[in-house]
Amino acid sequence: MYLSAILDLYDRRIVSYVIFFDTFDQAIETEVSPLFHGDRGFQYTHQNFCKRIVEAGMTQSMSYVGKCIDNGSMEGFGE
């Protein structure tokens, strides 16, 4: 299983969380053209997922290689 959560950086609330891809669908229903930031994992770089990003009117953002600080806000959301 792969847990996926979507964090709103403005107020640090979790917009949605479930098993991967279900969160994406929930975010589309609740947010208006959000910025989607993820690491360079296969699930975020796969052609089908990138197509879904475009179809949802989202902007995709990815960390630079070796710059894990970009993911810090999400990795620490439970603290």
CA distance 46 to 58: 16
pLDDT tens sequence across 59-74? 888 877 766 666 666 6
The torsion of the CA quartet 40, 69, 54, 24, rounded to 10 degrees, works out to 90
Q: Where are the domains of the chain?
A: 1-78
What are the φ/ψ torsions at residue 22 (nearest 5 degrees)? -65, -35
Specify the pTM.
0.53
Q: What is the pLDDT of residues 35-59, one digit of tens each?
A: 777 777 777 788 988 898 888 888 8
